[in-house]
Structure 1
Amino acid sequence: MKRVFVTVGTTSFDELITCVSAEDSVRIFKSLGYSQLTLQIGRGTVVPEAFSAESFTLDVYRYKDSLQEDLQEADLVISHAGAGSCLETLEKGKPLVVVINEKLMNNHQLELAKQLHQEGHLFYCTCSYLAARSIICKLGRLVSHI
């Protein structure tokens, strides 16, 4: 069972949660062989409805004491660009796609994501880039090279 884990840490990043939980995104995850999508939504106001179908499960939660189990079980991690989330994921050796929250002041997350990308550790993009239907398919192929 292939799993995607999405985390926004303790922040609110509704745009990312909306993007990855959209029907088109779920369909693309399924086509790439994923059968579970787990969303850690933090303080967000967007709360997708969890469901379990024959071929796909969507789980949603705000916080846990530790993300270790979700990170360990994930085959792909999609994360905000918080330093803690990035480093914790990379320590686990998991393919990581970092989505930059362009609405943050000074966009310090972009600097971290660019540096880690240049070093070959992750792929990064914005929500508008991720939202393009074909991009998730491309990411599915790209992460195998990270």
Structure 2
Amino acid sequence: MAHPKTCFVTIGATASFTSLIQAALSAPFLSALQNHGYTDLLLQYGEDGKGFFDGCMQQAQATVSSSGLKVSGFALDKAGLGKYMRQAKGLGAKGAQEGVVISHAGSGTILDALRTAVPLIVVPNAELLDNHQVELAEALAAQEYVVHASLADLPRALQDAEQLRLRQKEWPPVNSGVHRQAKGLKGVLDEEMGFLD
């Protein structure tokens, strides 16, 4: 039996982003998930999204069946998204692998994913007016905290998330800034003790 590996997709609670649900249930994306060893696709489709999610699932049924992915969804969880982020991180189930979170570019969701230290693909909702999400996604991607993607780029973004996962495990962290690039164990210890030049 394969070790669980979850892709968690969230569209947020306040704005409808049905295009992200549709893209996550598209044949190219489901195939990309399968190719990267994912076993589970979990979608948070929002307060009014059940009918749309069910319709997309019906259209994708043949692809879902042939992919072997377990696909499920939910509207909202008043307790927050933490347990779903941890599931994507690979925490909880024995032998689980670290997966990925795909999110609209809402700042609260981004912070939750960064706190959990799970690779994050940010897909700004292009349908919003005065869209600050694109600026936020671009800034975080430039600092290598997240992968910034469009709806059409989701299959490629999975590969980028795998590369982000590897970079996040490097020491010193790639996004730690020049001032934190200590040399060797002595440099790290000096930095941790506050002995900076």
Aligned to 1:46: 52
Pick the structure with more strand per residue. Answer: 1
**Given the alignment, which residue of 55, 66, 85 partners 1:71?**
85
Residues 116-127 of structure 1 correspond to what in structure 2 (within 5 A)? 116-127=140-151
Aligned to 2:172: none
The total of aligned residue pairs comes to 143
The answer to whether the 8 A contact 2:121-2:161 is kept is no
Between the aligned residues of both structures, percent identity stands at 29
**Unaligned 5+ runs, structure 1:** none
Note the C-alpha offset of 1:76: 0.2
**Aligned amino acid, residue 85 of structure 2:** L
Aligned to 1:60: 73
Residues 1-146 of structure 1 correspond to what in structure 2 (within 5 A)? 1-10=4-13, 11-42=15-46, 43-44=48-49, 46-47=52-53, 48-49=56-57, 55-65=68-78, 66-74=80-88, 75-130=99-154, 135-144=156-165, 145-146=167-168
**Aligned amino acid, residue 68 of structure 1:** G
* CA distance in structure 1 between the aligned counterparts of 2:145 and 2:161, rounded to whole angstroms: 15
Note the C-alpha offset of 1:21: 1.0
* CA distance in structure 2 between the aligned counterparts of 1:112 and 1:8, rounded to whole angstroms: 16
Specify which structure has the bigger relative contact order, considering alpha-carbon pairs within 8 angstroms and separated by 6 or more residues.
Answer: 1
**Aligned amino acid, residue 64 of structure 1:** D
Note the C-alpha offset of 1:137: 5.0
TM-score w.r.t. structure 2 length? 0.66
Aligned to 2:194: none
TM-score w.r.t. structure 1 length? 0.86
